Chains A and B, each alone.
Chain A
């Protein structure tokens, strides 16, 4: 009997070790469990600048994103202590801070970004687009994925979150904008002319949309670089002054030509029907 007791003891000890081992393996596979204990609660929020900021993270979406297997700490460094000691004062500051963490992995892209107008403004501490403004935060998927904020079906909406007004209006009314809106796989989106991470303003000589470089940029789709491609403006709206002037007067001319012609033709039809009606009455 003593032998059986020893056996049972050994068996139970081994079982305990096994359970412990599986438990630690499970913990290693879900390193974010501790974070999600709080952050997976939908109502989890904080008051910042007088506004309620949600601190909720959809763990399902996060696990489906390209960063689904990363630790929370990869992007949110210095959050070991609970409650967190290293806090930010605003949502924008968080975006800036996380942008610094992106370069740990995306070093090449980050270098391009730092040289771009967006990156320069970030360095100056001015309001600008950080990585997460274009790519999203916990939901980042590959560009080819239709849900990606930088997929060609969504990129216009993403850029025009900030670049609204004349820039957005003119693109939406352009042939490129119309074609992309209806699902064209060829027509130019914002990034086809402006590039993605290396975006520079039109006044910078190196910019793809500077006057000197516009012909070459157009030629990347339209065969040959014609100097005339730069004689005019891409982002014009129908205004009697400014770059949209020729188009404005073309629109006015054809609008009034159409109204006048069609009104006269309809009057002619009505008179014709009136005469036929009268003549029919006589017979």
Chain B
């Protein structure tokens, strides 16, 4: 029987970081692609929607500022949150279990095993997404800032290096756009498990049923912890409390 119990999966900081990231990502995609494909038939039309190139580029820079702000917010959060809450988690760091999960999951997908891989707090897919964004932010913000402030960049780097980062900016953007709108959108929108959308980005909560399916190892640990707490201290189960065990 499906439980109505909800687990807090993402706290308000994580959800705000994600909202800042995806809104700026969409804006940067719309204002960036016409520059990459400026000779296409649609590029001048998109540019005209913004009232000319100068306006569109200004919007691109605003989007860039929001995206960089979300990255800075996240890095500060990684440092400050564990200090204030006295909780420290390395759940997002890749482990050997991710490799065995990957192998097990492929055996399951191919039909060689009846058992799907049992994921902990973050599956190897989610860890891939997280570190892909981490790598992408370094490339995109680094190259973008060099182009935004070329005279400052030229204090440290030769001209050909700054030119190379422009190529990296354009091509890493393409990789990110494809990864997000194919892979990430499948996982959170188009997958039959979540269509039309997994709303965890909005309310941050996941049902016990979803947890059982997506993160059984974490669920088991949370419930065990919860039971021992209930036995020891007696208070009844409170929504969202248990997930505080992990950030």
- Give the interface of A toward B (CB within 8 A): 172, 175, 178-179, 181-186, 218-219, 222-224, 226-233, 236, 243, 246-247, 250-251, 254-255, 257-258, 261-262, 265-266, 268-269, 271-272, 274-276, 278
Contact = CB atoms under 8 A, between A and B. Distances in A.
Interface string B80-122: 0000000000000000000000000010111100000000000
A189 B43 CA distance: 20
Contacts of A230: 159
B164 A250 contact: yes
B167 A271 contact: no
Given A232-B163, A254-B175, A269-B186, 20 more contacts: A175-B166, A182-B43, A182-B47, A184-B54, A185-B54, A186-B54, A218-B151, A226-B155, A228-B158, A231-B158, A231-B159, A232-B158, A232-B159, A246-B164, A247-B164, A261-B179, A268-B125, A271-B110, A272-B186, A272-B191
A243 B109 contact: no
B35 A251 contact: no
B16 interface: no
Which residue, of B159, B160, B178, B191, has the highest number of chain A Cβ atoms within 10 A? B159
Interface string B105-144: 0101111000000000000010000000000000000000
Nearest to B190: A269
Contacts of B160: 231-233, 243, 246-247
Contact of B151 (A223, A231, A269): A223
A171 B192 CA distance: 47
A274 B108 CA distance: 11
A247 B186 contact: no
B163 A251 contact: no
Contacts of B161: 232, 246
Contacts of A236: 163
Contacts of A172: 39
A271 B108 CA distance: 10
B164 A182 contact: no
A5 to B, nearest CB: 76
Contacts of B108: 275
A172 B157 CA distance: 24
